[in-house]
């Protein structure tokens, strides 16, 4: 069921170094979010994407700037990959007025609509039909845009997944479904609750959609696969599905120590860190270790400054609680 | 223009007018295309606007409303049909958690100008899963506008307002009214959402009704007039925005309130309205407030049973008569 | 993905004649329902199964009496096949106190719980998870029962289908999913709104469930396929899926003339009437035409008498409107 | 038995007691097994009862609740967990159209003895899609019993009643109360559904609260007592059956009513209660009825914003003070 796999040129050293740096920014941001949570400066919950950077950064590198992206509560990496700054993300997590959503959203709802990153949704699977709708809209408006929904392995078992994929296929819409299969839905192995081995790719045939599995920790492989599927979709050949196998470094959320994961498994995946994979490729392209380290240092500095700026930012004005319900800006529901 | 039309035709007319006006308006739903919808409320649209504007869907309520949401966020003005209001339950996540919250939770970054149309209410003998008045479900969710017209002209005029609204609107079309006749909406007719209509004036008791209970309240008022009791009948037309001021204004005159609701008493819209009145209008009241609402049971199939359960003119008459002696 | 197809013995002449008669009872009941609707004695709506009799009767012949059956708003045939009488069905449609559900349910909700026919549901797809739950319960209680959900082609596109099949597979439950593919969801060809050619069978692999397609107008074929799948399920080998290709003789509901169906298609299917197919098989088994006609006559008489009895039955007591909400029999929700 | 326990532990204790008593009781839900649930409200059950009684499910809310329904119809007493009340929207068809209607629409042929447990409400900073108080959604549907305990002992006692009930029960466990402490339920403790508790006596104003608003109301009452205003605080404990008589009884003494609700004002449970009072208790009232409910907005993330939106002791104090001068 796999679409024609035309060769996609790998990124050159300069581009790959840029992708590496983007991933490093995500990594440092997630580490900062984790630390800030533990120190009490981030309330509620966080679902960190450390370990899954290559999916967001690789996919993003394959998209046009005006393509639409929909993500989940584990969506910091997607917001960052689509142009949100660490400062506006961390400010949101820290309940600051300068947060991406003015502190009305929080960690689970990072959104940067001006960059066509149309939101992070916290009801599993709910955004898949939305992405289908955005793709439908793009087709109706004739803009050549595509829409991409990122979701977890666990989301493949919910009804909205099924309805979204069928409608996308029937209407031949330019939408990509990118599953970040990190092997777990919260604390339960996905294999325990799913009838097939590759929860997304093995279902694609049920919708006549080409499905591929890719190493989600290899930014180059992800970029290549998304480039191919996006090309198909943009050409009017309909939706595509990519299952990116990856792993989260932290627990599911907050302070979850993820004790349910076998030590051997964790170790194996930590050895296959997306940053290391990219570093290996950079070495192969002849980029000196010092340049990679420098990229990492720039990322660390950026995030460090972002943390400080976010800390210094003011809390939202309480009056903001009663704005933004309606398009007129207010919340009036009665005379 | 014909000088009489049906509520059913007024739906299609309302949609057609907006589709002619604005190319961003597109319709989607089950069997709404060549078939014209199971209630024929989209009749003629496919013929006039073609398959690029009128889309038949699979039986996938989540995909229908979810896709409408995605399209609305990206420049279109979709009108999604959910065939029966009961089926809103199959895509409730979109109505409860996604559509009404996304603007707020993104700090105002996105706008969701869509309409979800649905056939609401009982009276046709469709049984428990196809007859509910579900407007009160939507009332539990801040961020949805809720329209429920009672006449053909209001259908067309409120549809114009709903489609033009930059806010999401749930548009309840009442099954028992589809065959009802009335004057058509004049060209360009727009009935702003949130304005109740005083459809009969009276001095003794205020009856507040919505959609199919408007004719019930009017019939009761007519009979009560014969007994010397003057009822003012208010058609709320919308639950959100809720025009509480028109109700309070009427109570300043009548001092007595009866709501006529098709939704069940428990959790019904009358509760919200009455609580506003019991607070802001307490000083106006000369008598207890009564709610003639559906009994707290599912809708039974047989007419003989359904009559027991839903508001009827008889029940309104009895309630008002009783109240006017308080 | 098809399970081992052990040979299932065909029914002998006596059994087949009995199946024929059951189908004839359904046919006459549906015709009566149609006529009564047009004459105003049945209100609301009806979704008739004339043309689809072989699915209900053939499947039922393969089940144990205590197996659970869940059906849709197009469920008269299933109620009848599981032991409801034409009289109690028609009385329900005619709003009589003697109706199967005391006239509280109507055409779309025929239920005969005493015969383990656990209901007809009018929200497309909703009963699939219920059947999964009944199968789970059977397994927990160790009764050896199985559960069967009958549903239409259109139901394969709704989320509940997906969730039900996955859960059934993951828990290896004794449940059968029997799709009556009559080519249409209401007025829309299923092919226009479904991404695969066999809407049910082509999806079974997405759940690791064996899926088969069968001639749904051949009662012997249906009986054989269900016998095999039921045997597997009862033996603990998990769920099965059967897609029975069939056709409805009437429109979708009420007075729908079904003008959207090509005349040639209608004609082709009417020539493949399940009663005719069975009659042909009976002839092959040496049963004289007169015996088949006699079975048909008995069925017609039974239904004729049922119509009269239902007409004579009283309307429900209005007080019944306020019973049966709660297990205590009443409807009291407050002090 | 420890002399103090948490609300969180009381959930698991309530479930364990019923599972010990009745082998037909089985639990299903996401991550409820070895993980003990995301809120640890099923901690210890998997260890004690094993995988045949405690079932981990996929993320399939419809399948979870639909399967619970099928099992309940066939001899089991399933307890389904829907992790957050917001996710009830993902299986709303079962709550709105199937479970509460099947007994009625089959003329009493089937019984559906199940419990749907869910973590409800705000206060933990989980944002708009994980913080709603959704008890009012359930109130719109006749045929569901609705429990929402406020203390550990009530959690365990009401869980016993819910599991033993032959009717379907939606059991709202409040997230903000999970860490709350209190005396554990004595052995065999059963709190029948539908009995409100007068948790503080007073003569001047009746405060009616539910779940997390009970401590809010009590805190306000304490402060008001210092000002010489005596509040009677009623913990409703259930919305269905609704113990309206206890409220009316209290009003006979106080003549003043304030509800304290976490659900939004529009469509909130207070509306139903107030409408009963404005009818049957009209003669008892000396002052307007006030509802301190959540604002009609989604729940914002930041504490500073959430405080503006939800009921607080401050708001209750202000409202009561204002009312007592009426
Ligand atoms: C409809 C719904 N059910 C349950 C949850 C609770 N929940 C949040 S994340 C999660 C696990 C999701 O797993 P997966 O899709 O693999 O994504 P991951 O967290 O691994 O990125 C669950 C069950 C939810 N948010 N929405
Ligand atoms: C959730 C839901 N959506 C829509 C409907 C309206 N509806 C009733 S029957 C039907 C078509 C069903 O087609 P199919 O599943 O093929 O069954 P058939 O009627 O052909 O037996 C539709 C759309 C419904 N009852 N429930
Ligand atoms: Mg995962
Ligand atoms: Mg069909």
CB within 8 Å: C326 and D242: no
Terminal Cα distance for chain B, rounded? 49
pLDDT exceeds 80 at position B46: yes
pLDDT band, residue A2 (cuts 50/70/90) = very low
pLDDT exceeds 70 at position A4: no
Contact between residue A109 and residue A101 where contact means Cβ atoms under 8 Å apart? yes
- Encode A241-280: b = buried (16+ Cβ within 10 Å), e = exposed: bbbbbbbbbbbbbbebeeebbeeeeeeebeebbbbebbbe
| Region A16-45 average pLDDT | 97
Per the listing, tokens 């049984």 go with: B127
Per the listing, tokens 């049945």 go with: C42
Nearest to C170 among D58, D68, D243 (CB): D58
Predicted pLDDT of residue C7: 80
CB within 8 Å: A166 and C160: no
Q: pLDDT tens digits for chain C (335 residues)?
A: 344 456 899 999 999 999 999 999 999 999 999 999 999 999 999 999 999 999 999 999 999 999 999 999 999 999 999 999 999 999 999 999 999 999 999 999 999 999 999 999 999 999 999 999 999 999 999 999 999 999 999 999 999 999 999 999 999 999 999 999 999 999 999 999 999 999 999 999 999 999 999 999 999 999 999 999 999 999 999 999 999 999 999 999 987 999 999 999 999 999 999 999 999 999 999 999 999 999 999 999 999 999 999 999 999 999 999 999 999 999 999 99
Pairing of strands D5-6, D181-182: antiparallel
Neighbours of D225 (CB within 10 A): 14
Q: What is the pTM of this model?
A: 0.98
Residue B253 CA to residue D237 CA, distance in Å, equals 39
- Which tens digits make up the pLDDT trace of B7-45? 999 999 999 999 999 999 999 999 999 999 999 999 999
Residue C119 CA to residue C111 CA, distance in Å, equals 4
- Which tens digits make up the pLDDT trace of B148-199? 999 999 999 999 999 999 999 999 999 999 999 999 999 999 999 999 999 9
Q: Which two tokens stand for residue C142?
A: 């160790």
- Which tens digits make up the pLDDT trace of D233-273? 999 999 999 999 999 999 999 999 999 999 999 999 999 99
- For A97, which residue in chain D has the nearest alpha carbon? D302
Does the domain made of B197-324 have the CATH classification 2.40.10.10?
no
pLDDT band, residue A304 (cuts 50/70/90) = very high
- A-C CB pairs within 8 A amount to 68
Predicted pLDDT of residue C6: 66
| Region A298-318 average pLDDT | 98
Residue C267 CA to residue B37 CA, distance in Å, equals 26
* CA dihedral over C193, C199, C202, C205, signed as positive or negative: positive
Per-residue DSSP letter, C205: G
H or E stretch including D63?
Answer: helix D61-72
* CA dihedral over A119, A124, A127, A132, signed as positive or negative: positive
C-alpha distances in Å from residue D298, one per residue of A96, B115, D86: 18, 20, 12
- For B248, which residue in chain A has the nearest alpha carbon? A335
Predicted pLDDT of residue A255: 79
| Region D191-205 average pLDDT | 98
Q: Which two tokens stand for residue B105?
A: 């939770």
Element counts in chain D: helices (H) and strands (E):
12, 14
Other chains touching A, judged by 3 or more CB pairs under 8 Å: B, C, D
Terminal Cα distance for chain D, rounded? 49
Q: Please give, rounded to a whole number of angstroms, the shortest distance from the CA of B315 to a CA of chain D.
A: 16
Which one, of D265, D273, D263, A335, lies nearest residue B237 by Cα?
A: A335
- Tell me if the bond preceding B217 is cis, omega within 30° of 0: no
Pocket test for ligand 1, best of D83, D94, D127, D175 (most atoms within 8 A of CB): D83
Residue A202 CA to residue C316 CA, distance in Å, equals 53
Quote ipTM for the complex.
Answer: 0.98
Domains of chain C: 13-307 (3.40.50.970)
Contacts of C76 (CB under 8 A, 6+ apart): C26, C29, C30, C33, C48, C49, C89, C107, C110
Q: How far is the CA of C254 from the centre of ligand 2 (A)?
A: 14
Q: Give residue ranges of A with CB < 8 Å to any D CB.
A: 43-45, 92, 95, 101, 103-109, 121-125, 154-155, 157-159, 185-188, 192-194, 260, 315-316, 318-322, 325, 331, 333-334
- Encode A6-18: b = buried (16+ Cβ within 10 Å), e = exposed: eebeebeeeebbe
Helix ranges (DSSP H) in C103-158: 127-141
Predicted pLDDT of residue C255: 79
Chain mean pLDDT for chain B: 98
Find chain C residues with C-beta within 8 A of B125's C-beta.
Answer: 43-45, 106
* Residue intervals in chain D for CATH 3.40.50.920: 197-324
Predicted pLDDT of residue A7: 80
- Which tens digits make up the pLDDT trace of D210-224? 999 999 999 999 999
B130 carries an active-site annotation? yes
Helix ranges (DSSP H) in B96-243: 102-105, 135-139, 152-164, 213-226
Predicted pLDDT of residue C5: 58
Q: How is domain D5-182 classified at the architecture level of CATH?
A: 3-Layer(aba) Sandwich (3.40)
Angle subtended by helix axes C274-284 and C53-61, to nearest 10:
50
Predicted pLDDT of residue C16: 98
Predicted pLDDT of residue C2: 41
- Which tens digits make up the pLDDT trace of D263-304? 999 999 999 999 999 999 999 999 999 999 999 999 999 999
- For A126, which residue in chain C has the nearest alpha carbon? C159
Contact between residue B271 and residue C296 where contact means Cβ atoms under 8 Å apart? no
Residue C283 CA to residue D202 CA, distance in Å, equals 87
Q: Which two tokens stand for residue B277?
A: 């009145």
Nearest to C166 among A157, A160, A170 (CB): A157
Residue A200 CA to residue A178 CA, distance in Å, equals 9
Other chains touching B, judged by 3 or more CB pairs under 8 Å: A, C, D
Q: Please give, rounded to a whole number of angstroms, the shortest distance from the CA of C219 to a CA of chain B.
A: 28
Burial zone of C12 (CB within 10 Å; 0-12 exposed, 13-18 middle, 19+ buried): exposed
* Cβ < 6 A, ligand 1 pocket: A 74, 122-124, 152-155, 180, 182, 184-186, 252; D 30, 59, 61, 83, 87, 90
Test mutation, C187, C256, C324, chain B, max B CBs within 10 A: C187
Using a pLDDT cut of 90, give the percent of chain B over it: 98
C-alpha distances in Å from residue A284, one per residue of A23, A223, A290: 18, 18, 14
C-alpha distances in Å from residue B231, one per residue of A166, B316, D106: 53, 11, 40
* Residue intervals in chain B for CATH 3.40.50.970: 5-182
């Amino acid at each position: 069921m796999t679409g024609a796999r035309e060769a996609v040129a790998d990124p050159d050293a300069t581009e790959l170094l840029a992708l590496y740096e983007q991933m490093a920014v995500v990594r440092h941001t997630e580490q900062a979010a984790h630390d800030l949570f533990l120190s009490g400066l981030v309330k509620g919950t966080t679902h960190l994407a450390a370990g899954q950077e290559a999916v967001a950064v690789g996919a993003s590198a394959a998209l046009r700037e005006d393509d639409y992206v929909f993500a989940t509560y584990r969506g910091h990496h997607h917001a960052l990959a689509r142009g949100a700054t660490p400062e506006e993300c961390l400010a949101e997590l820290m309940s600051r007025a300068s947060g991406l959503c003015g502190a009305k959203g929080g960690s689970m709802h990072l959104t940067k609509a001006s960059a066509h990153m149309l939101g992070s949704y916290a009801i599993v699977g709910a955004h898949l039909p939305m992405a289908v709708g955005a793709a439908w809209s793009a087709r109706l408006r004739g803009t050549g845009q595509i829409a991409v929904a990122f979701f977890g392995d666990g989301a493949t078992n919910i009804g909205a997944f099924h309805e979204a994929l069928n409608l996308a296929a029937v209407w031949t819409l330019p939408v990509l479904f990118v599953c970040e299969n990190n092997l777990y839905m919260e604390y339960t192995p996905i294999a325990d609750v799913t009838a097939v081995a590759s929860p997304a790719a093995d279902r694609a045939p049920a919708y006549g959609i080409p499905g591929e599995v890719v190493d989600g920790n290899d930014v180059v492989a992800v970029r290549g696969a998304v480039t191919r599927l996006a090309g198909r979709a943009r050409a009017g050949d309909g939706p595509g599905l990519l299952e990116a196998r990856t792993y989260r470094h932290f627990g599911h959320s907050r302070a979850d120590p993820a004790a349910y994961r076998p030590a051997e498994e964790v170790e194996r995946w930590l050895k296959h860190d997306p940053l290391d994979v990219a570093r290996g490729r950079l070495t192969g392209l002849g980029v000196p270790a010092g340049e990679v380290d420098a990229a990492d240092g720039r990322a660390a500095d950026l995030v460090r400054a972002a943390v400080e700026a976010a800390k210094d930012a003011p809390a939202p004005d309480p009056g903001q609680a009663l704005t933004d319900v309606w398009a007129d800006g207010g919340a009036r529901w009665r005379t | 223009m014909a000088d009489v039309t049906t509520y059913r035709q007024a739906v299609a007319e309302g949609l057609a007018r907006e589709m002619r006006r604005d190319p961003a308006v597109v319709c989607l739903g089950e069997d709404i295309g060549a078939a014209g919808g199971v209630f024929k409320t989209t009749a003629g649209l496919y013929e006039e606007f073609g398959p690029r504007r009128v889309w038949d869907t699979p039986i996938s309520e989540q995909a229908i409303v979810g896709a409408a949401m995605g399209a609305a966020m990206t420049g279109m003005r979709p009108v999604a049909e959910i065939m029966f209001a009961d089926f809103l339950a199959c895509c409730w996540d979109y109505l409860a958690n996604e559509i009404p919250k996304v603007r707020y939770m993104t700090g105002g970054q996105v706008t969701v100008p869509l309409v979800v149309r649905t056939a609401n209410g009982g009276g046709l003998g469709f049984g428990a899963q196809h007859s509910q008045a579900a407007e009160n479900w939507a009332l539990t969710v801040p961020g949805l506008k809720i329209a429920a017209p009672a006449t053909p002209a209001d259908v067309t005029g409120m549809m114009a307002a709903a489609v033009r609204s930059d806010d999401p609107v749930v548009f309840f079309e009442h099954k028992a009214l589809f065959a009802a006749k009335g004057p058509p909406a004049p060209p360009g007719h727009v009935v702003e959402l949130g304005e109740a209509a005083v459809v009969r004036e009276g001095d003794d008791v205020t009856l507040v009704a919505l959609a199919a209970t408007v004719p019930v309240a009017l019939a009761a008022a007519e009979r009560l007039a014969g007994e010397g009791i003057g009822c003012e009948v208010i058609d709320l037309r919308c639950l959100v925005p809720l025009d509480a001021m028109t109700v309070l204004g009427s109570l300043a005159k009548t001092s007595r309130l009866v709501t006529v609701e098709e939704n069940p008493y428990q959790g019904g819209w009358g509760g919200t309205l009455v609580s506003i009145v019991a607070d802001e209008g307490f000083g106006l009241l000369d008598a207890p407030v009564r709610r003639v609402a559906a009994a707290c049971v599912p809708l039974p199939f047989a007419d003989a049973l359904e009559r027991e359960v839903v508001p009827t003119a008889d029940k309104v008459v009895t309630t008002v008569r009783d109240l006017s002696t308080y």
